[in-house]
Amino acid sequence: MSDPDLDLQDVFLGRQPILDRQQQLFAYELFFRSASAEKGKFAAFIDGEQAAATVIASTFSELSLADALGPYQCLVKVDQGLLFGDLIGALPPRAVVLEILDTAPQTPEMVARCEQLRQAGYMLAVHVHPQFPDIDGRPLLKIAEIIKVDISRTEPERLKQLVPVLKPLRKTLLAETVESDQVMRLCRDLGFDLFQGYYFARPVVTEGKRQMKSSETALLRLLGLISQDADTAEIEAVFKQEPALTISLLRLTNSAGSGLTTRITSLRHAITLLGRRQLLRWLQLLLYSGASNSVPTVNPLLQLAATRGRLMELLVDHTREVRQQGRELVDQAFMVGILSLMPTMLGTEAKEILAQLPLATPVLEALGEYKGVLGDLLTLVEALEDDARERAAGVSQRLPDIDTARANVCLAQALNWANNLAR
């Protein structure tokens, strides 16, 4: 049964990306995790019959989550109570895919209600049991647009048998709990259309040492120079060695999103007008955005890194440490979030990357050892992404200024900011 006392103040909002066959962000799945650490259930997963319908509805109304998601939809697990309740009308059809729980009985009344919701504009997703996909006995499979399969519970040989059974239904097949690039490739070859998980953010171990591209090396040099407050002439000299970076910088600074009203006509002009803080942020983001091309591309790793960076700076801005150490800590928080995924992006060990950057001690300690308030915030952000409940519970005790309401608002704002990078 739903918990009548459960509301958005007691729930951490989590999300997991869903990518398409081109490895572009397609949607998110939203999770709701109890934050009642004092009750011994911190970050416990809640959905369906355990979650109050008001929590899901409040997420969209109070956080303006439909706007924060931008062009991406989100999957939300719903049970029979929410499906037949009035609150489902609070979920915008454009932004939401209703994921029917396995426990929901497929009665004629349920099928009729799902047909009604489809007519109202909602998309539906359903699960199939990988071992026993009773297609004939699952009428919702004919109504739903998306069929989900939990890959973690399915042997490869069974997958090879299952996909041909599902394909004739002409539905979008979603592989859930994809944990590695290798598994993703297997599922893609078998015919899956969507892939859910953080596999794209896992470091890939390869034999031999990968040589960084010249543009990547140049970006690290520029980050180091700006961190050392080098002269503009030194920064300009590095840019001139990388024409693609120069084109990217001028394109970005002349865009509407830069906030500048003056048309930038030269590299030195761009460096001067942007200022070191803004330039530092663009350089960090360029590492993830196809910096070797004249026209940057937005990939899911960029969106994840940007969300982490923005989320960490928003969170640290509400801590006592920022009042003690000053605004510089906010910029350092953004840097920690962005740089935390560089080992994955560059295929290089973190210590090798950090050795090339004269970073401030709080940043180095957070990235290398998860120390200090920045290390705690990075731990919390990663734990909520991975549903690492015990780790999240432990670090939350060291962040008394960060409550669930604050974390949820900051996450919505961070998603909005990161999604706008694609424009």
Residue range 62-105, pLDDT digits in tens: 888 888 888 899 999 888 888 888 888 888 898 999 998 877 78
Q: What is the CATH number of the domain that holds 94?
A: 3.20.20.450
User: pTM for the full model?
Assistant: 0.81
Residues 92 and 194 in one domain: yes
State the pLDDT at residue 147.
Answer: 95
d(CA 325, CA 327): 7
Tell me, yes or no, whether 228 lies in a domain: yes
The confidence band for 263, taking pLDDT boundaries of 50, 70 and 90, is low
What count of Cα atoms within 13 Å lies in the side-chain half-sphere of residue 304? 30
SS3 72: coil
End-to-end CA distance of the chain: 43
Average of per-residue pLDDT across 134-159: 85
Q: Give the closest residue to 153 by CA, choosing from 187, 185, 177, 184.
A: 177
DSSP 3-state percent helix, strand, coil across the chain (nearest 5): 55, 10, 35
Name the domain boundary from 255, 286, 317.
Answer: 286
Q: What is the model's pLDDT at position 48?
A: 45
Same domain (yes/no): 191, 252: no
The pLDDT assigned to 80 comes to: 82
Q: Does 400 have pLDDT greater than 70?
A: yes
Distance CA 53, CA 223 (A): 46
Q: What percentage of residues in the chain have a pLDDT greater than 70?
A: 81
**According to the model, what pLDDT value does residue 134 have?**
66
pLDDT, position 4: 46
Among 133-142, 180-189, 256-265, name the one with the lowest average pLDDT: 256-265
97 vs 139: which has the higher pLDDT: 97
Give the percent of the chain with pLDDT over 90.
25
Q: Quick one: pLDDT at residue 193?
A: 97
Residues 6+ apart with CB under 8 A from 242: 214, 215, 218
Q: Which residues, in sequence order, are bridge partners of residue 146? A: 125, 172
* Residue 380 CB neighbour total at 10 angstroms: 24
**Has residue 291 got a pLDDT over 60?**
no
Residue type, 405: A
Report if residue 112 sits inside a domain. yes
Mean pLDDT of 141-145: 91
Sign of CA dihedral 321, 325, 327, 331: negative
Q: pLDDT per residue over 117-136, tens digit each?
A: 999 999 999 988 776 666 76
Token pair listed for 94? 């454009």
Q: Is residue 47 included in any domain, yes or no?
A: yes
Query: Cα separation of 346 and 41, whole Å?
Result: 37
In a domain, 3, yes or no: no
- Would you place residue 256 in the very low, low, confident or very high pLDDT band (cuts 50, 70, 90)? very low
Q: How confident is the model at residue 290 (pLDDT cuts 50, 70, 90)?
A: low
Residue partners of 193: CB distance under 8 A and separation at least 6: 20, 21, 172, 173, 174
- 166: helix, strand or coil: helix
Q: CA-CA distance, 79 to 307, in Å (whole number)?
A: 30
Q: How sure is the predictor about 278, in pLDDT bands with cuts at 50, 70 and 90?
A: confident
Statement to judge: residues 316 and 385 lie in one domain: yes
Residues 26 and 111 in one domain: yes
What Å distances lie between residue 231 and 236, 238, 276, 279, 344, CA to CA?
Answer: 9, 12, 11, 14, 31
Q: Are residues 263 and 176 in the same domain?
A: no
Q: Is residue 206 part of a domain?
A: no
The average confidence (pLDDT) of the chain is: 81
The pLDDT score that the predictor gives to residue 83 is 87
Query: Which band of pLDDT confidence, cut at 50, 70 and 90, is reported for residue 299?
Result: confident
How many C-beta neighbours within 10 Å does residue 51 have?
A: 23
Number of Cβ within a 10 Å radius of residue 311: 26
Point out the domain boundary residue: 201, 226, 255.
201
Question: How far, CA to CA in Å, does 161 sit from each of 133, 145, 155, 158, 332?
Answer: 11, 21, 10, 5, 50
109 pLDDT more than 80: yes
Nearest to 253 by CA among 245, 309, 307, 302: 245
Res 59: pLDDT: 80
29-38, 132-141, 291-300: range with lowest mean pLDDT: 291-300
Task: Report long-range pairs for 73-76 (Cβ below 8 Å, ≥24 apart).
Answer: 73/26, 73/27, 73/28, 73/97, 73/123, 74/15, 74/27, 74/28, 74/29, 74/30, 75/18, 75/27, 75/28, 75/29, 75/30, 75/99, 75/125, 75/146, 76/29, 76/30
265 pLDDT band, cuts 50/70/90, is low
Evaluate whether residue 60 is within a structural domain.
Answer: yes
Residue 43, pLDDT score? 43
**Chain-centroid distance, C-alpha 383:** 12
- What's the pLDDT at 39? 45
What is the model's pLDDT at position 119? 93
Residue 397 domain flag: yes
**Which H/E stretch holds residue 13?**
strand 11-19
Task: With respect to residue 295, please indicate whether it lies within any of the assigned structural domains.
Answer: no
Which is higher by pLDDT, 376 or 2?
376
Question: What residue numbers bound the domain in which 273 lies?
Answer: 214-286
Same structural domain, 275 and 309: no
pLDDT at 42 over 50: no
- Containing 44, the helix (H) or strand (E) segment is strand 44-46
In the listed set 259, 286, 313, which residue is the last one of a domain according to the structure?
A: 286
Q: Measuring CA to CA, how many Å separate 245 from each of 87, 182, 238, 298, 332?
A: 49, 32, 10, 15, 24
Same domain, 160 and 42: yes
pLDDT digits (tens, 9 = 90+) for 204-255: 645 445 566 667 778 888 888 887 788 888 888 888 777 777 777 777 666 6
What's the domain count of the chain? Answer: 3
Q: Residue 192's pLDDT band (boundaries 50, 70, 90)?
A: very high
- Give all strands (DSSP E) within 215-265, no chain letters: none
